[in-house]
Amino acid sequence: MTVSNNKLYEDNKFEYMVQQESNLESALEMGLTKEEYNLICTKIKKIPNKTELGIFSAMFSEHCSYKSSKKWLKTMPTEASHVIQGPGENAGVIDIGDGLAAIFKIESHNHPSFIEPYQGSATGVGGILRDVFTMGARPIALLNALRFGSASKPLTKHLLSGVVKGIGGYGNCIGIPTVGGETNFDKSYDGNILVNAMAVGLADKDKIFYSAATGANNPVIYVGAKTGRDGIHGATMASAEFTDSSSEKRPTVQVGDPFTGKLLLEACLELMNTDAVLSIQDMGAAGLTSSSVEMASKGSLGMFLDLDLVPTREEQMTSYEIMLSESQERMLMILKPGSENKAKLIFDKWDLDFAVIGKVTDTGRLVLNKNGFEACNIPINPLVEDAPEYDRPYEIINNKKIIDLNKIVINKTINEILVKVFKNPNMASKKWIWEQYDCSVMGDTILSSGQSDAAIVKIHGTENHNSLGKGLAMTTDCTPRYVKANPFEGGMQAVCEAARNIAASGAKPLAITNNLNFGNPEKKHIMGEIVGAIKGISKAASYLNTPIVSGNVSLYNETNGNGILPTPVIGMVGIINKVENCLGVNSEEGNTLLVLGQSEEFVEGWISSSIYQEIINNEFDGAPPPINLENEKEIIDIILKLNEEKLITAAHDISDGGLLPTICEMLFKNNLGIDLNLPDLLSKKDSKDILLHSWCFGEDQGRVIVATKNLNKVKLLLKKYNIKFFILGEVNSSSNLNIKNVTTISINDIKNLYENTLTSIMC
Amino acid sequence: MRSGVAIFPGSNCDRDIVVAIKKITPKAPLKLWHKDTEFPNLDLIVIPGGFSFGDYLRCGALAARSPIIRNIKNHVSRGGSLLGICNGFQILIETGILPGSLIRNKNLLFTCKETILEIQNTIKSPFTEGFQIGEQIKIPVAHNEGNYFAPKPLLDELNNEGRIAFKYVKGSDFDNKVAYNPNGSSNDIAGILSPNGKVLGMMPHPERAINSLHGGTDGLRFLTKCIEHIVG
């Protein structure tokens, strides 16, 4: 070998290595199965080199291909007259009138957040924001649905504190308000926390950007941050179970840079205001691989990329590393030919990299050059179309067991139970968390965490002389223990609770984004949870006309074989035509509280799988409270009707914990009290009576408490529409919840617990 | 009134302050880019909140070295009014236009909440002139580094010269268990003035309290009075 040849080899040593033919062993290492490897070799009619194999393994990963869930995802309702774009794009798009569209999606960053809580959650937020602004929307709000292990564990404290800092670190810095979400604790998440981030954005209906590539020879542009070696094979990591050594996977976690994210957001929106952008796709999971493949595939075209032109952070990166890096804050665009200079000026202004790295082709192939060699030449179709789709065996649990009240041994008074309820971090205020999030930047937040059942953000610029403007309502919901006990009912419940929450804020439910978090789908009962939940979600979503327009699936949330509670999180968006009509949860002195969806004759509450049951028996057992979709729809409609007539001033959905804790939450803010009415049948019971307890703490669905100053008018309307209701009493200034002849509860004492339980755990 | 809003890469409250000012005066503020070295004489410049240059170094440190700062200093020496909110306050400290430092919040957490500010007895300043001494206004904070820190002689000087604009105080519905001072600031300081009273740096965000449905309208009242007194 001559000196110059030797130098040529040294310079390209690593690239040579990834261009060697792969073998089964390397395929297995990358998370592919033997069958999948053989399929790849057949489809591309050659043995792939390591770069090509890496690209296949990323695209075939559960995270990118949805191979276990696709069969069932296809069955979900995704259409309605107000849907502009359903699943399949970066985010879902719905028509909200006035020429505007709401664009939103929820996405998980579970695996990385467990390994590296700050960066994992921060990049989760960054990623979901990019999904939304890629489509031309300015993001206006963030929410997050979090699940952690037992609150008493030191590891939980570490993870919670890191995740909250990471979410705040990204959202606060980029300047998008974090307005809502939910946080739960359960030991099943000890080894697998869930971090689901949702972003909502606004765009002009006729200015929405899609990802399908167009026009052979059009330039392919790389913009944003440089590519580094972080997050390589993150999508594959996120598609595997954890073991004790999972912390070794820290290098597969991406690092977030919200400052660059902010610059990218502004630069992209500025460029989208011109006519230069033909299509655009963010580089999320599987980075340049999935963005280029998806763009080409959706346009039924091919793509040529010269990887030597990709801006990199590190030297001697190989084609394999460049294609599989998950460095953040990057976008791939196809521009109208001739507009490159105009576009570059905008990116120069924002000090961001801008590089023409290739072109669209009509070959249907992905061709990559690196160091002057062809590093990859594979057909695009098999990457997407031939990605495996499994019909995994499943078994759906259909738990209908009802707990016999007479067999419950009561050892606590109502007061003692209420204390236990609010000492439970699942029930207590999450103020410690949401005070770390900027909830009011952008100046349009109307209601955020802790103020109402759903957050409300005003649609900027819709104010006029007779209204303060239109608003979007948003919430995330799921009760995993219900889904565990009965996936179908639990799936329906998550949708109904979300819809009730939207309605209780005064808004009309419109559409759903969902985040399906489950364990290992290769296990029959887990696959049953997935299928059951999807069927339940579909049935309720279809009935309530709130189609699923976007979503994400996160499987293999297991550690050493132990799976999480099934957690299909529903993110729902609704619309309120006048934000001044929004409803919070706080009642005022003189208001009458009524529970809707519950009759005067109702006495026996649903105790199975309730928070109350856990307090009394230390476990959840039996079926979740059943859902009656007809009732749910009636309740949603009547709340909107009452609100439209300006007859109610507050509303609060009854969910975890039942009636009594819900009443307490409506009294906390203003330190108020109430003399509670009881149904006749319960009027002579004592503080340890099981029937009375079930009435106070049962978790029957389809109920909302409203506050009114116009009791008579409300009663008339409820009777007219044949809605069951029960008058709970008048709110007074006593700061006592008084149950006549039974007990008196100090609202101040309970509020104290509610406000400080989580803080005292965390500080 | 002619006003301008200085925008740095990473500023994120620029739109909010523009919206607030437009509610008060018909003339929209000029948007000044951090690289701008020439702009017309203005009555008021606002440096808005955000995370200029990501605040990866000390907050405001990089912004304080931007080309626009020279012009902002000229504006101040001409007697123009200057308001730095949150990151804007941090930038004013880093430029040396205002003294002291802003360090991490005492609880080491980013904190977003409503605070009650009490107007102090100050030197003549357009930012406090419209208020009675002791008047309270409700304005939210949202920051990670808002803990005003200065050596005792400087704190005494600020106090003696009437340069403490407002302090965090306990409001009427004060909850004893929650710290009314959100960040541990020395002497509960929420905002300070320059020796001539024309420069105000404050951590709370008045532009976020302009809507009766969210956070009240004390911020709008505050900004309205400031603008009235700047115009004169």
- The pLDDT assigned to A741 comes to 87
Active site residue B86: yes
Pick the closest to residue B53 from A351, A509, A646 (CA basis): A351
Could A439 and B55 be called an inter-chain contact, meaning their C-beta atoms sit closer than 8 Å? no
Domain extent at residue B155: 3-231
Alpha helices in A544-628 (DSSP H): 611-617
Quickly list DSSP for A286-297.
THHHHHHHHHHH
- pLDDT at position A466: 87
Q: Burial, A364: exposed, middle or buried (Cβ in 10 Å; 0-12, 13-18, 19+)?
A: middle
Q: How many residues does chain A have?
A: 763
- Distance separating alpha carbons of residues A107 and B176, to the nearest angstrom: 39
Residues B138, B205: Cα–Cα separation, whole Å? 10
DSSP conformational letter for A155: H
Q: Which residue has the tokens 């268990």?
A: B177
Chain A CB within 8 Å of residue B37 CB: no
Could you say which DSSP state residue A584 is in? Answer: B
Written as six digits, the tokens of B14 are: 């620029």
Kind of pairing, strands A508-517 and A471-477? unpaired
Q: Is the pLDDT of residue A249 over 70?
A: no
Pick the residue from chain A with its C-alpha nearest to B87.
A173
> Residue A1 has what pLDDT?
42
Let me know the angle formed at the C-alpha of B132 by B126 and B136, rounded to the nearest 5 degrees.
100
Nearest 10 degrees: Cα torsion A266, A270, A272, A277: -100
Using DSSP's 3-state secondary structure scheme, residue B38 falls into: coil
B143 flagged as catalytic: no
Among the residue ranges A238-252, A390-404, A431-445, A498-512, the one predicted with the least confidence is A238-252
Find, among A92, A72, A70, the residue nearest to A83 by Cα: A92
pLDDT range class, residue A691, cuts 50, 70, 90:
very high
Using the Cβ of B110 and the Cβ atoms of chain A, whether some distance falls under 8 Å is answered with yes
The CATH number for B24's domain is 3.40.50.880
Average pLDDT, chain B: 95
Q: Residue A358 has which token pair?
A: 């290739």
Query: Any CB–CB contact under 8 A between B27 and chain A?
Result: no
d(Cα A582, Cα A411) in Å, to the nearest integer?
Answer: 41
Q: In DSSP terms, which residues pair with A360 in a beta bridge?
A: A303
Question: Mind listing the pLDDT tens digit for each residue in A293-334?
Answer: 999 999 999 999 999 999 999 888 999 999 999 899 999 999
Distance CA B45, CA B226 (A): 12
Beta bridge partners of A575: A472, A508
Residues of chain B neighbouring A440 (CB-CB closer than 8 A) = 112, 140, 142, 205, 208, 214-215
The side-by-side arrangement of strands in the sheet containing A508-517 is A445-447, A455-458, A471-477, A567-576, A508-517, A548-554
- pLDDT of residue A509 exceeding 60, the answer is yes
Instruction: Check pLDDT > 80 for residue B175.
Output: no
pLDDT score of A721 more than 50? yes
| pLDDT higher than 60, residue A250 | no
- Is A168 within 8 Å of B110 when comparing Cβ atoms? yes
Tokens of B100: 């002291």
User: Given A82, A109, A111, A233, which residue is catalytic?
Assistant: A109
Structure tokens that stand for A65 in this block: 């291909």
Nearest CA in chain A to B14: A442
- In this structure, are residues B98 and B192 in contact, taking their beta carbons and an 8 Å threshold? yes
- Of A728, A492, A456, nearest to A632 by C-alpha is A492
CB A132 within 8 A of CB A105: yes
Among candidate residues A548, A549, A571, the one with its CA nearest the CA of residue A473: A571
Q: In terms of CA atoms, which chain B residue is nearest residue A756?
A: B177
| Exposure class string for B96-130: b at 16+ Cβ within 10 A, else e | ebbbbbbbbbeeebbbbebbbbbbbebeebbbbeb
Beta bridge partners of A558: A563
Helices and strands in chain B, H and E counts:
5, 11
pLDDT digits (tens, 9 = 90+) for A602-632: 999 999 999 999 999 999 999 999 999 999 9
Sign of CA dihedral A318, A321, A324, A325: negative
pLDDT tens digits, one per residue of A158-168: 999 999 999 99
Q: Are A615 and A420 in contact (CB under 8 A)?
A: yes
Q: Is the pLDDT of residue B151 over 90?
A: yes
- Tell me which chain B residues have a C-beta less than 8 angstroms from the C-beta of A202: none
Active site residue B226: no
Query: HSE of A511 in the Cβ direction (CA atoms, 13 Å)?
Result: 32
Which tokens sit at A205?
A: 């209906």
Chain B residues with beta carbon closer than 8 angstroms to that of A437: 110, 112
* Pairing of β B30-33 and β A471-477: unpaired
Handedness of CA B100, B105, B111, B114 (dihedral sign): negative
Q: Rounded to whole angstroms, how far apart are CA atoms B93 and B101? A: 6
What number of other Cβ atoms are within 10 A of residue A338's Cβ?
9
Q: State the pLDDT confidence band at A18, using cuts at 50, 70 and 90.
A: confident
Q: Does B13 sit within 8 Å of A441, measured CB to CB?
A: yes
Rg of the Cα atoms in chain A: 27
User: Closest by alpha carbon to A94, among A536, A552, A474?
Assistant: A474
Rama region for A741: left / alpha / beta (φ>0; ψ in -120 to 50; rest): left
Domain count, chain B: 1
The amino acid occupying position A757 is T
Residue A349 near residue A271, CB atoms below 8 Å: no
Kindly state the average pLDDT of the residues A678-706.
Answer: 94
Strand partners, A471: A458, A576
Pairwise CA distance, residues A170 & A199, whole Å: 13
**A440 with B144: Cβ contact below 8 A:** no
Question: Inter-chain contact A442–B15, Cβ cutoff 8 Å?
Answer: yes
Query: What are the φ and ψ backbone dihedral angles of A42, each rounded to 5 degrees?
Result: -65, -50
Q: What is the reported pLDDT for A306?
A: 97
> Does A259 contact B20 at a Cβ distance shorter than 8 Å?
no
For the stretch A397-453, pLDDT in tens is: 988 899 888 888 888 999 999 999 999 999 999 999 999 999 999 999 999 999 999
What pLDDT score does A284 carry? 83
Q: By C-alpha distance, which of A754, A604, A757 is closest to A664?
A: A754
ipTM over 0.85: yes
Q: Do B9 and A172 touch (CB under 8 A)?
A: no
- Nearest-Cα distance to chain B for A54, in Å, is 34
* DSSP-assigned states of every residue in A17-30: HHTSB--HHHHHHT
**Taking CB atoms and an 8 Å limit, are B213 and A582 in contact across chains?**
yes
Beta-strand pair B111-119/B164-169:
antiparallel
Kindly report, residue by residue over A49-93, the tens digit of the pLDDT. Answer: 999 999 999 999 888 888 999 999 999 999 999 999 999 999 999
Do residues A480 and A488 make contact, with C-beta atoms less than 8 angstroms apart? no
Are A646 and A695 a contacting pair, CB within 8 Å?
no
Element (H, E) at B147: strand B147-149
User: Considering only alpha carbons, which residue of chain B is nearest residue A161?
Assistant: B109
| Closest Cβ opposite residue B12 in set A174, A435, A445 | A174
Encoded amino acid at A52, one letter: E
pLDDT in tens, A348-377: 999 999 999 999 999 999 999 998 889 999
Instruction: List, in sequence order, every residue forming a beta bridge with A621; answer none if it has no partner.
Output: none
Contacts of B142 in chain A (CB under 8 A): 172, 438-441
Sign of CA dihedral A593, A596, A600, A604: negative
Chain A contacts of B205, Cβ < 8 Å? 440
Closest-CA residue of B relative to A582 is B213
Give dist(CA B202, CA B17) in Å, integer. Answer: 14
For residue A258, the chain B residues in CB contact (below 8 A) are 51, 54
Mean pLDDT over A163-176 rounds to: 97
Written as six digits, the tokens of B77 are 């020496």
Residue A560, Cβ density class (10 Å: 0-12 exposed, 13-18 middle, ≥19 buried): exposed
CB contact under 8 A, B112 and A174: no
pLDDT cut 90: percent of chain A above it? 84
Helix (H) and strand (E) counts in chain A: 26, 28
Residue B15 contacts A, CB cutoff 8 Å: yes
